[in-house]
Amino acid sequence: MPSLPRIRRSRSARGTGPVFARPRPVVHELSASGLTWINVVAPDVDTAQGLAERFGWHPLDVEDVVSKRQRPKVDDYEEDGYLFTVLHFPVFDQSVQRLNAAELDLFIGHDYVVTIPNRELHPVTRLFRRCEEDEPLREQLFARGSGRLLYEVLDDLFDYCFPILDKIAHKLDVIEDEMFEGASEEVVRDISNVKQEIISYRKIIKPERSTLRVLERRVETFLPEELELYFDDIVDAAERIWDLLDNYKEVVDGLESTNESVISHRQNDVLRLLTVISVTILPLTLVTGLFGMNVLFPGEGTREAFWVIVGALAIVAASALGFFRFKRWL
């Protein structure tokens, strides 16, 4: 048996290229009215360990912070006086052109709130910047306690979710218009893309609903009595998002079914036309084949015989087309 040729792989020299150190995550911190808000995006192990030592977090929480992906959950450390929450929010990833989940780790104590997204979440960044630039707003929010600040963060994040739903709704409207304008073949890919976005969104929101209900009960420790109903608004927002996603799922399934019916109907029209042409040509082929045999027939070799055959072919074709018209097959 002949030996197979070896594939030569070039080995790059190790340690010859320049080594770039990863920049250390920036810890942003604000304090007012005895409350501290810390926001840090994608911290490394050293940064997470430093925050854990400062606030007395459990080592398992540090592992959850630096891990790649955690499921939504709420861990209540009553003895240590803080609450650890993991939530997911939809973010459109421009690099892959699809909807992905961004993780937000939250630590809430009586005198601090720490937000740790694994990628930048613009609502959190904007609210932090507003509090940093607007001192009266910072004093107003921070004076109401850590629970109210947490509510403001989550409220902005869930408000950020609705424009994504509006874009999905707009895409469904465009698909419906294009489908009935004769572009049903091009619509197939658009339907698949929207369907993928709806599925990804549902995967993010579904486990979030039960987590928010647990958070609503556990966060009461950090809220004044007059603010206990605020988190019910967050739960309602998640339920509205889920209801809209259910509606969009039914709409996209209906559009997909309708588009397949339109394509099938057009294919049937094409097949019907081809069948009519085939059946019309079949008797003509029979007649021409009959007179094309190497036998003698009346009028062979005369012009009159040629025109008689042409007339017979025209009569047969007209009769076939008239029959199809009478049956309303054309």
Q: What is the pLDDT along the chain (330 residues), one digit of tens a residue?
A: 444 344 344 444 444 444 444 566 788 999 998 999 999 998 989 999 999 999 999 999 999 998 877 889 999 998 888 999 999 999 887 777 788 889 999 999 989 999 999 988 999 999 999 999 999 989 998 988 888 899 999 999 999 999 999 999 999 988 888 877 766 667 888 888 899 999 999 999 999 999 998 888 888 888 766 666 778 888 899 999 999 999 999 999 988 888 777 777 777 777 877 777 787 787 777 777 767 766 666 766 677 777 777 787 788 888 877 777 777 766
- For residue 106, the model assigns a pLDDT of 94
Asked whether residue 236 falls in the same domain as residue 119, the answer is: yes
Q: How far apart are CA 7 and CA 136, in angstroms?
A: 68
With beta carbons less than 8 A apart as the criterion, state whether 197 and 98 touch.
yes
Asked whether residue 253 falls in the same domain as residue 199, the answer is: yes
- For residue 266, the model assigns a pLDDT of 77
- For residue 265, the model assigns a pLDDT of 74
In a domain, 1, yes or no: no
Q: Range of 102's domain?
A: 28-263
Asked whether residue 280 falls in the same domain as residue 137, the answer is: no
Asked whether residue 232 falls in the same domain as residue 103, the answer is: yes
- For residue 126, the model assigns a pLDDT of 93
For residue 51, what are the contacts with CB-CB under 8 A and spacing of at least 6? Answer: 27, 38, 40, 43, 57, 107, 114
How many domains would you assign to the chain? 2
- For residue 296, the model assigns a pLDDT of 65
- For residue 122, the model assigns a pLDDT of 92
**Boundary-marking domain end, from 263, 283, 318:** 263
Q: How far apart are CA 155 and CA 3, in angstroms?
A: 67
In a domain, 4, yes or no: no
In this structure, what is the dihedral angle of CA atoms 281, 286, 287, 289, given to the nearest 10 degrees? Answer: 120
For residue 141, what are the contacts with CB-CB under 8 A and spacing of at least 6? Answer: 131, 148, 149, 152
In a domain, 11, yes or no: no
**Boundary-marking domain end, from 263, 279, 296:** 263
**Boundary-marking domain end, from 243, 263, 283:** 263
What is each CA distance from 159 to 98, 156, 237, 249, 255, in whole angstroms?
20, 5, 8, 21, 28
**pLDDT, tens digit, for every residue of 284-322?**
777 777 677 666 667 666 777 777 777 877 888 888 777
Q: How far apart are CA 282 and CA 279, in angstroms?
A: 5
- For residue 223, the model assigns a pLDDT of 75
CATH number at residue 165: 3.30.460.20
Asked whether residue 232 falls in the same domain as residue 309, the answer is: no
Asked whether residue 78 falls in the same domain as residue 219, the answer is: yes
Asked whether residue 177 falls in the same domain as residue 302, the answer is: no
Q: Closest by alpha carbon to 157, among 98, 232, 236, 104?
A: 104
Asked whether residue 182 falls in the same domain as residue 52, the answer is: yes
Cα 133 from chain centre:
35
For residue 71, what are the contacts with CB-CB under 8 A and spacing of at least 6? Answer: 86, 207
- For residue 226, the model assigns a pLDDT of 62
Asked whether residue 248 falls in the same domain as residue 319, the answer is: no
Asked whether residue 129 falls in the same domain as residue 224, the answer is: yes
Q: What is the pTM of this model?
A: 0.74
CA 131, 218, 42 angle in degrees (round to 5)? 50
For residue 100, what are the contacts with CB-CB under 8 A and spacing of at least 6? Answer: 90, 91, 92, 93, 200
- For residue 231, the model assigns a pLDDT of 83
